[in-house]
Amino acid sequence: MGGRHPARLLLPLLFLLACAPPATVVALQAQVEPAHVVPGTPLRITVSGLAAGARLSGIFLDRELMFMPLDDGRWVAFAGVDLDVKPGRHPLRLRVEEAGASLLEQATEIVVEDKDYPTEELEVEPKYVDPPPEVSQRTAREAAALQALWDQASPEVLFDGATVRPLSGVPGRNFGRRRVFNGQPRSPHSGTDLSAASGTKVPASARGRVVMARDLYYSGNLVVLDHGGGVYTLYGHLSRINVAEGDLVKAGQSIGKVGATGRVTGPHLHWGARIGEARVDPAVLLELLAGTDAAAPVSQAAPRT
């Protein structure tokens, strides 16, 4: 990633021990990256100052955060600001428990600024705008299968700080744009499109496990990687899939080839990212994953609700 890092927002937080006299003050410092947040922004929340044996949990945008320990004693969690999140101040709540004692929860705010994503108009085959009745059950099954992935957060942390941008050198385009297919408005574009010739090899962005590798109606041949901690990357419209569900892949490993399957106007890679259900910019997420090496014990992992 060329050593570039997002701007950081430092949030000093104080927690008071609720039930043990005299009250104990635990000084924590939370670092949120990047500092500039708009709909579609992924966040890395790093917390220092946690005593050995203490447990850390948190909530942001109604999602339980999964904190993972770093080698230097800090803890990290990833959160996402979905494309449909309204601008404004949104609370980030952290809580510490130590030796069975509950420490008071402290909240701060993350400011989500407005962003006016442009609109793009596209012409595709009519069957991808108004699908025929015979495929409605298929699309419903596929949507449910994807939702099942977003509804769980694996406590097995697989990313290891190594990252590779797919199709390096190809500028990404149209993340978050409001799309109009054949004159009909649809949901915003949840990934970025990377143009390349059909058959170009597609590398994995980071170490992860293949949790989906199949042909979907809209996405065409799709590979989804679970990187742990609720972090996923997606690779769509492939002409060929080179991995199978359950495979563990490393950053840079070929997982397929560029194609034009599914709802497309020509050969390209749809590169997307999710943190839980939140649709986030994969390029920014890759910056946050770069250099982050964590290993989370199952006991610390908090399930999403």
Position 223 pLDDT exceeds 90: yes
Cβ atoms of residues 243 and 259 within 8 Å: no
Position 240 pLDDT exceeds 70: yes
Condensed to tens digits (0 to 9), the pLDDT of residues 165-196 reads 999 877 777 776 665 554 544 566 678 989 89
Position 246 pLDDT exceeds 60: yes
Whole-angstrom CA distances from 15 to 55, 84, 90, 178, 300 are: 13, 32, 20, 42, 19
All domains in the chain, ordered by first residue: 9-115 (2.60.40.10), 119-289 (2.70.70.10)
Give dist(CA 175, CA 20) in Å, integer: 50
Q: pLDDT grade, residue 120 (50/70/90)?
A: low
Give dist(CA 99, CA 46) in Å, integer: 22
The confidence score (pLDDT) of residue 168 equals: 82
The pLDDT of 227-244, averaged and rounded, is 96
Give dist(CA 220, CA 63) in Å, integer: 30
